[in-house]
Structures are given as structure tokens and as C-alpha cells.
Amino acid sequence: MTLNILSGGAAQGLVAGVAEAFRVQTGLGIDGEFGAVGLMADRLRAGTPADLVILTRALVTRLAEEGLVVPSSIADIGLVETALAVRSRDPRVTVTSEAELREALRAADAIFVPDTKASTAGIHVAKVLEQLGIADEVAARLKILPNGATAMRQLAASDARRPIGCTQTTEIIATDGIALSGSLPPGCDLATMYTAGVATHAANPAQARTLVNLLTGAEQRELRLRAGFAA
């Protein structure tokens, strides 16, 4: 038997980190989908079987209002930054201002990002490019992938001369061949609270609450930090 989850890609590494402890406590494995948060919310709305969702706080709150998540089960896991990534073998790119970020993106010959319409980081990147006034200039170099994990794997495999990526820290840290390069500068930064909630029609609600406790418990603080959560 398995516990089915629908989750943003930001939580994939953390979920993997507690999977064995969860199996020991419940006898269940963990299965489900990890992807752009907007798409995962729509999967739940469409009736995809799920015991637990892990999405942005705003989306989980909205799903509770729609009657799809049990309000009393909602618990924050932690904040995740959107940040820059480079291939492990490349020099780190550090930016401290909007001007430096603009030049770093202009200098890249490929920019790897997640879905700019349904993912937290992708939507933010699209806004930042508009804010910097370079959206049209870099459009041809923008490599838009379904989610952050896929974008980072493509960045790792890229044969571009000076590629760069932008997604959430958790997805950067979890990808082999990729290095967390640095935070986005003030005015372009984003920290998103990720939140868990038990689905109203969960087949395994008690076990879903056990997983929530594992993900949010004080004893998992170090694991959350290593996975890229800021709190």
C-alpha cells in the first residue's frame, strides 16, 4: 500500500528524506506526483486520488475553502527561496542588485526555468524579466520546462557556453551536477511558504497526518535545512 501525494517539486527532496521513517511508522510507501503547484492543485480539483497535498500556503488555503483539503490538518513546512543555479563546473554567479542580475541574465546564452504559467518560480521569473526590462531580449534563450526539477536536469546536461538557471533552492540542491549559485537580489527575491494539508477524500487520512508530522516536526529541522528550506 502507498500514501498518494500531490506536491510541488520544492518538497520532493524532503519527502524522500522522510520516506523510510514514514514506512517504519506506517508500513506504507509514498507515491504520487511532484510538479508545478498550479497543475497539482488542478489535479486534485479534477479528482486525482490523493491523501495529502504539499503546495504553496495560498493554494492549500484556497483548496480548503473549496472543500478539498481538511482545514484542521493544514501545517506549514517552511520557506523556500527562488534562486540562481549554475552547472557544478561553472563559476558561481553572485548578484547583489537588479543591475547585476540584468547583466548576468544578458550574459547567459541559455536560461533554464520551470513553467512560467503554473509554477511558483517560473511565474516569478517571468515577472522579474519584465521588471528588468529584458523579457523580449532574452526570450529566445529562455528554456521553459514543465517543472523546476526538469529544468535543473536540463541545465546540468546543457552544452551551452554560459547557461544559468532559476528555480527554487530545494530543486537546485536536489539535482546532481548543479550548484546553488546565489539568492536573487532585493526587489527581485521571493521566499514561498510551502504547506501540507490532508485531502478531504483521503483514503489514508491518519497516515497522511503522520507524514505531515514527520515533515514539520522539530526533529526534522536539520533535514529541512539541508533540503533547502529556510525554516
Residues 13-56 have pLDDT tens digits of 999 999 999 999 999 999 999 999 999 999 999 999 999 999 99
Same domain, 71 and 151: no
> What is the value of pTM for the model shown?
0.88
Residue 188 falls inside a structural domain: no
92: containing domain: 80-183
Same domain, 32 and 112: no
Same domain, 36 and 103: no
Residue 158 falls inside a structural domain: yes
What pLDDT digit, counting tens, does each position of 66-90 carry?
999 999 999 999 999 999 999 999 9
231 — pLDDT class (breaks 50, 70, 90): low
- For the chain, the three-class secondary structure string (H helix, E strand, C coil) is CEEEEEEEHHHHHHHHHHHHHHHHHHCCEEEEEEECHHHHHHHHHCCCCCCEEEEEHHHHHHHHHCCCECHHHCEEEEEEEEEEEEECCCCCCCCCCHHHHHHHHHHCCEEEEECCCCCHHHHHHHHHHHHHCCHHHHHHHEEEECCHHHHHHHHHHCCCCCEEEEEEHHHHHCCCCEEEEEECCCCCCCEEEEEEEEECCCCCHHHHHHHHHHHHCHHHHHHHHHHCECC
Same domain, 47 and 129: no
Q: How many domains does the chain have?
A: 2
Task: Give the CATH number of the domain where residue 27 resides.
Answer: 3.40.190.10
What pLDDT digit, counting tens, does each position of 149-171 carry?
999 999 999 999 999 999 999 99
